[in-house]
Chains A and B, each alone.
Chain A
């Protein structure tokens, strides 16, 4: 009753304002003409509804509101993970005229939308222009179980009562029609009625007005309602202007599912789609396609990067329900006497039981009591009473306490709170001022002591509050980032739905914890309670913070930063001594342009989301990992033979080998090269360039680039050494078939390096129209970063896959290396994992000692090649020495700057395989596993026995049950001609090894 009375008051107030809600504001802004179409509709609507509302009278409206069905949650539904479809029903529109037949069955359409997965149905109520009616609203509401949005031109506050009374769950309010105060009153009145207002804006000014209200759901309409013009990029531009603690809806201008996917990537929670759906032949199928496009990517790599979310300080069953519905990973129950959220033991036990009752067993949150400075006996008793999954220690406990606890311990480490001035200066790659460095170093030391004592989780909170356990304030971002870089930490303190995404993007933290940031406003003295929408949005913003941002760190990388990423000028390595940009001045403009474009794209979720879709549907990612047991047994035998044979060290060879192949040979076009080519082809489009050039050695990069260009309709010229054309004929034919022009390069050694020279010359000449799709993680800055970023998926996927299969990361990750794109793509994920050894197999050609090889790391020195300073083969005059290898893909005299830096720092172990070794490995791999590796890949396989025997690499022993991940970079069809010649020369898989082993 009170609600209705209050609504009545607002009603009266608005009416006392005369036609505030109608024409006056527009005229006052001097926008009478600009108000255009929407004003005309609104004026007419006012004339229509006034007599209706007057006829009904306040009492009847109150009766209808009271009799209306309970509102269905609208905002909360849109706050679930991903982007949701609000499907609209209208018979016609002022922009498009009649779009649905009169006979169109509105209810069938609504049911089709719902069956297609729409989260809500929007129903036009305006009769004149849209052919809608309040009756449509009522019948649709009755026909579906989803919430229904009343798409109405609200010009009189009493319409809100009428709409709620008709069953509407949400209502559209147009910022263009109302001045700030009037809009605020309409929003508050709708909220009081339980009618969720969606406040729609079209430009910055309207958005400001919308955000000044209490509306929880904000829409951006790409269509200007004054002119009906659609600007499809507008929603994207304005998204950042909507704080993350509001539900954001994009409206109008949907071309296809790609538009929806882009909006999802940009962080919209919903898309309101009208015309495109209404015009679709099969509305259910179209809705289903749009719903699918709005879903979060089903990508195990993204899942592995999602942060852990803990909702702390829950005080009642509704709070438990909100946390469970939001998919929280943990629920914190506060047992610290005297603090606002403190529970009695009985309350805590009841809430823990409630959580376990309502959660599905597979997704049940961990139950964690929060304690301060309790004795071990107390803690064990608490844990037993709650059947706690872990115990949080938020006081001044000592590491020795952990040995006495029965359950896993989560330890809170405190940092001093940020001063107001410094809290706004965080950045992803910002360097920490020295004061923060000290603070961070101390926190790391304290945390490490608890990790060493067995703490299962470290939470990073701010110190100095009134109560022990947390202050609700943020710590200095630089210090937080520095700690999160070294240790797996969960951020706590001062987070809320609007800040959690940024906090996760600014540090490598593995989790977030929130208490006060997701609570409803309360009167002094009341116990805090969770706000379900805030809890849902917090979890959503946290989970989605790093999706489609693969280059943001999501876990600690406790190694020198120069081994992980280039600095701002493109220099790599612990001493920043590799990389840079050594090119003719003519190319500098293009490289700066490329750098600027890529800097913008590197963390642009729309780019990575588009690329992921192509990688999934076109390339076939993720590629599988395959456990090659027969090959492993053969390799182990060879390792034993090598260890005890001539030149052997006699060191212990592991007793067992579990060998996983990361199957890039199964990617479209048969090698990892497509990952980079496709990414750079998309980049070409973003750069506005109209022509693509590439170089190729084995032909795989040429084929991949030709493929990507065919897909995107770009003309493509591939430079290829004449010698490589000879030995890689099948790939030349493939490039021709794909419509690319292959230009033979006869200068120099007529191999890969000369093809690069010629491509660079073409680029120097055509730089204004042409993008050079460089094929390896080398060349002038920013190429090493671009190619590495595009290839890192190999290792990102493999890590998740091997964790899934084995429950741990590999002891050794191994790849073949030429320029290094496949190697760094596999290894990048593991550089910051101290437990994983990294090795590369170089091409030893005729043997390192013959001088006829392609081993730029083992047999080279630092120099400048193809625009970058890196390890390379050269003579004392700095002339480039021609590489020698039967493998065209490894036949290159340099290796990229990041791998050079890893090698210099001792993080990379080296092996080298001769042509003969590689052909032999091709043979025995094919014979034992039924997989024909590329000759390049075979170098890595051939090297593994020597690495395991300690003859190559660091030499130190591996675990007895060694787990190895091998980058299976490509398939060997292209090498069959050379393989056949090797066979003719008498080559074989060393007698009967291949068959003998497997009888054992």
Chain B
């Protein structure tokens, strides 16, 4: 009896429709978030993440409506984020039905945001998203959708964010994202070892073997992927059966 490793599909949206970037550029439409949410809920996904990657102010009401419609389909936890800049932004996504809030660029600019959200909703509801890119012998924190360096060391930032009240780290390898060449095992293991909160690995997943690797060697508590699930390259049910057969503890759907 121990915690199952979680498989988390991610819906990157423009507020309304699911899109997925290849290395964060060249977006293409991948579908209706509500239909995908219902499918993943039924297939045995352990959680769902919905991000507003456009995060433009005037489209915010559309994104909140998307969260509401997605939440209505789910009997599993929902994390939402993208463009969360203030406590009020956080309240709006929680009121719309999210169980957890992810923060990224705004938290780098103003780390107190993590503390404010954690004080109001509890650490279990605050997910610090870190986009990390290798630079020499360390990893740089990238902001603004992976385009700009924040001149921060990813390991240091993870520690700072946890001390400020983040209850989980959503760690995306900018180098691997969209490449389908596998998760960044070294990066994930380094962050997982540096903090005492769960780490969700993201970026680069394609084959079931990549998931075995990130759980067994990368010490990830959860793994997130988008396009391989949306495109049907990988079904969550088959992936979990594969993992279970290789000794990775997962929650098998009935």
Are the chains A and B members of one assembly? no
Chain B residues proximal to chain A, CB less than 8 Å: none
